[in-house]
Every structure is written in structure tokens, then in C-alpha cells.
Amino acid sequence: MMKITILAAYSFLLLMTLDLDTVLARELYWEKNHIELSGLTEAQVLGLETTINQLCSLEPGKLKINKKMYDRLSRFEELFGFPFNGKDLSHWLLTKIQSISYQNTWTVAVNQNQGSFMVGDFFFTKTTPLERLYALIHEARHSDDDGYEHVKCPKGFKFISSRQPEMDLEKEAACDPNDQGAYSFQAAFLFELFAYGIFDQGEAGLLYNSSILRVVPFK
């Protein structure tokens, strides 16, 4: 009888420990920012946490481009309201998210209704770490004000979506009518990565170019 009781108590303790481990394994920022996670596997939550932790660890360091060009083209501080650094940026991102759920979508990520993020297989399996970072920043901007919805790209638009080759941008709401929307935020972030040589400078530069050309000065 005694043995069984001890065994039961031991099993209970073991269960408690396992449970605590699971809870402790999650990053505290989800709870702190009241972000609800749903339909995601543990591996997918871990994937999201890796992305956010990576964002948090970004530091500018030394400029790897001409200072005059940096001053001319950098818009990060103007748009985000603080100088480029991963700590403030990850905080900025987390405050724009209300929930993240798993749902397969045609795009990398979607932000509906001011902070309801949806991510699917494409986000977890078909993107590079850099793409996951700028995709989240892009979506986060859709949480602000009226959501900064995209508009159709202009007739005769000459550019392509290299990651979504089936998409004809002339027919898609995949451009911004002014320089305050999600593509501007995405581009401003990519520009800092390019300027400071974080990640692959060439990749960041190409992605900056293809992001900034979605910002169309519509008349």
C-alpha cells in the first residue's frame, strides 16, 4: 500500500514537472503581450519563437554603405518611431499581434482585423529566415490605423513577384498608394539589413529593391 502511494505521488510529481516544462518552454512574451496562439504545433510555435528571437538579436553595428546614401534612403526611424535595433523592433512587432493561428493561405502570412495573424505551411517550410522576418513586419503594419490596405498595381506594371511566379501583379492588390503602408515598412527594415550588412547583404538589397517598387506614387 505504502509503495503504491509513493509510486502514485512520484508519478504525480513527474507529471507536474513535465507539465511545468511545457509551460516554461514557451517564451513569456506571448502571455505578456496577450497573444493567443491557436492551431499551431509545438514545432511551429518554436519556429515563430526562433524568428522573433532572431529579430530581437539584431544590432546595427558598423555601416557597410556610404553614409550619405544611408542618410538619403533610410526611413526606419521616421516610420517606426525609434532607431533601428532588434529589441525595440521585436517589441513593436509583438504589440501589433493579437493572435496567431494556423491556416493555409496563398501568401506567406495574413493579418486580418487589426492583429489576427494567420500563418500556413508556406511560412514554416518555404521561406528563408529573412523572408519570415520581413513578412511579419509587413503584416504588423496592417494592424495600424485603418489597416493600410493595398491597391491594384498600376496598369502596365513591369515588375514580377519572384516568389509567387503564378501571380500577375498588374491584376493584384499588391501595391501601396503612398509611402506609409506595409511595403514601406518592409522596405525600411530591409534597407537597414542591407546598410549594416546583416544577413546576406546581396539578398537584403535585392529584397529592398523589389519591396520599394511596390510603393507607387499614384496620382
Contact positions toward Zn ion, by CB under 5 A? 182
Rounded Cα–Cα distance for residues 108 and 119 (Å): 7
**Grid cell in block for residue 90:** 521585436
- CB closer to Zn ion out of 115 and 195: 115
Quote the least distance from Cβ 166 to Zn ion, whole Å: 18
Is there a contact between 195 and 72 (Cβ–Cβ < 8 Å)? no
Q: Which residue has the cell 513578412?
A: 135
3-state SS assignment for residue 182? helix
- CB closer to Zn ion out of 45 and 167: 167
- CB closer to Zn ion out of 14 and 173: 173
Phi, psi dihedral angles at 109 (to 5 degrees): -155, 155
Quote the least distance from Cβ 111 to Zn ion, whole Å: 7
- CB closer to Zn ion out of 169 and 182: 182
What is the distance in angstroms between the CA of the first residue and the CA of the last residue of the chain?
84
Quote the least distance from Cβ 216 to Zn ion, whole Å: 14
Quote the least distance from Cβ 141 to Zn ion, whole Å: 8
Quote the least distance from Cβ 138 to Zn ion, whole Å: 6
- CB closer to Zn ion out of 49 and 179: 179
**Grid cell in block for residue 211:** 519591396
| Residue of minimal Cβ distance to Zn ion | 182
Sheet containing strand 36-38, edge to edge, reads 36-38, 99-102, 116-119, 109-112
